Structure 1
């Protein structure tokens, strides 16, 4: 039903909707908290993508009404989380457990990995989709701090950075509430406080967005065509702005999710006792 709704609203094309069913099934079967983060990411990022589309159309060469994610985009955003969910299902089983690295180490490690994936995806989406059209001035390139045209890969703004943290916070909050609602209440007695999920979600949104921007500024080509739109290919009529033609946007998203899916469990494992 959710995939069909996304297809109707043009948030997904047919291939994206079909692949999204597979992703949603795996996440739902393994842990309802994973489903909560997936739904939060899908609904909030879709709304952000549709915000002020008339402005995005002026600066994006490959602008699509509603976003219309295909199966490749779904894979690059949720593929790492799906793999972690499969490992959770095989190792822990279909269950919901609070984050507790002492009593439920593997379950906590994999859960924080899923949180890191969706928090960084949502943070980056909010930063690019909302920051691009709400910033009062042109962004600066994260590697050189020079002003660049709006929409340049690797361009960051203060308001975009703020939205990356908010987008990650929303994911952390959704996992916290889902954990509280679905997990066995008896397991909470010996578990540490779960509110740091919200903080780690904010951090994953912020840091994941920075990683994405850094790779975008160095490994993605950004140029300005004769119509004043940002393009990702070079030609004689395109003025080079930054980056090299090594990765595309899908590749950057995939690499960022892999990094954050592995990094967040390590960070949270070390910091949770301190918090």
Structure 2
């Protein structure tokens, strides 16, 4: 019990440090502590290592050449510091699988945990690194060039980054969680598939708004001090929901594939 309380205190301290360096907002710091503690309950220090790799690398790429991304961020709902919605969008599925594993320690939940973080890392790397591409990305609904930061758009650099981000988490998972090659390959493949799902849902179902003053198409509900007008998408399907669903769906698909592979 004492060890568990000490770890909870450590999680809140790390959340505070994330807030202090502007990687997390106040709500994001609290959410990160909750997610971290949930993962510790299920997978201990090994799970925290994988979460830490995701958080550190994604924070690094978010800040890398941030000046070049300022114009793009006008289109995006997220800001520089992650709030609680963004933390749960990226780490909520992993925390859920960790808690389930804590009460029912079956290896299938471990795969769901690893895939959900591989998907989050793949999507974050694709967005942050892909935005630095010299060429404008292609919108998958029309295959026409669009502005950087458009949800549902892809680039060659972003795709390579997505594959690299998923591969890193798969590699760390194989090493720390003692996964075999098949399981590691599934984590890598479905981590990247999570990014693909994110792109598809972003293109077809995610909400998009337009500013009535400047005419900018954006994911933000407020721009130029006024509420924006929705021009596309389904209510409640915004960027954080897309991130959460893509990771969760990819994890479930991976668990289904792994489950049936044992019976082939």
Normalising by structure 2, report the TM-score.
0.82
Deviations 1:79-138 (A, max 9, x none): 12111111110112xxxxxxxxxxxxxx221011001110101000000011011x1211
Partner of 1:128: 127
Q: Secondary structure at the match of 2:142?
A: coil
Deviations 1:238-272 (A, max 9, x none): 99997566621011112112202211112233457
Distance in 2 of aligned mates of 1:9 and 1:110: 33
Match 2:37 to one of 25, 32, 52? 25
30-39 vs 198-207, which moves further: 198-207
Q: How many equivalent residue pairs?
A: 247
**Residue correspondence of structure 1 range 102-113 to structure 2 within 5 A:** 107-113=106-112
Q: Secondary structure at the match of 2:131?
A: helix
Is 1:196–1:272's contact at 8 Å kept on the other side of the alignment?
no
Match 1:81 to one of 79, 82, 94? 94
What's the CA shift for 1:43? 0.8
Task: Structure 1 unaligned segments of length 5 or more: list them.
Answer: 93-106, 181-192
Q: Does 1:148 align with 2:146?
A: yes
Deviations 1:32-90 (A, max 9, x none): 33222211111111111111111111122177998211111111221121111111101
What's the CA shift for 1:179? 2.0
Q: Does 1:220 align with 2:206?
A: yes
219-228 vs 76-85, which moves further: 219-228
Normalising by structure 1, report the TM-score.
0.79
Partner of 2:104: 91
Higher RCO (CA 8 Å, separation ≥ 6 residues) = 1
What's the CA shift for 1:228? 6.2
Moved over 6 A (4+): 62-66, 238-242
Partner of 1:207: 193
